Amino acid sequence: MSETNIPPTFTLLNRSQVHLLLEWAALEGWNPGLHDADLFYDTDPGGFYGFFEGNEMIAGGALVSYGSAFGFMGLFIVKPEYRGSGIGRALWHLRRDTLLSRLNPGAPIGMDGVVDMQGFYNKGGFQLAFKDERYEITGASFSRHPEIMPLQASDSNHVLEMDLQCFGYDRSAFLHAWLKQPEAKVFQFGKGAAFGGFIVMRKALSGWKIGPLFAATETAANALLETCMDAVPGDKLYLDTPGSNPAAKELARHHTGQFIFECGRMYLGNAPDLPMEMIYGITSFELG
Give residue 6's pLDDT: 66
Where do the domains of the chain lie, and which CATH numbers do they carry? 9-107 (3.40.630.30), 133-281 (3.40.630.90)
Per DSSP, the residues of 58-90 read EEEEEEEEETTTEEEEEEEEE-GGGTTTTHHHH
Which helix (H) or strand (E) covers residue 263, if one does?
Answer: strand 258-268
Model-level pTM greater than 0.75? yes
The yes-or-no verdict on residue 2 having pLDDT over 60 is: no
The yes-or-no verdict on residue 86 having pLDDT over 50 is: yes
Q: Are 230 and 140 a contacting pair, CB within 8 Å?
A: yes
Which helix (H) or strand (E) covers residue 49, if one does?
Answer: strand 48-53
**Residues 48, 21: Cα–Cα separation, whole Å:** 10
The yes-or-no verdict on residue 226 having pLDDT over 70 is: yes
Mean pLDDT of 50-79: 97
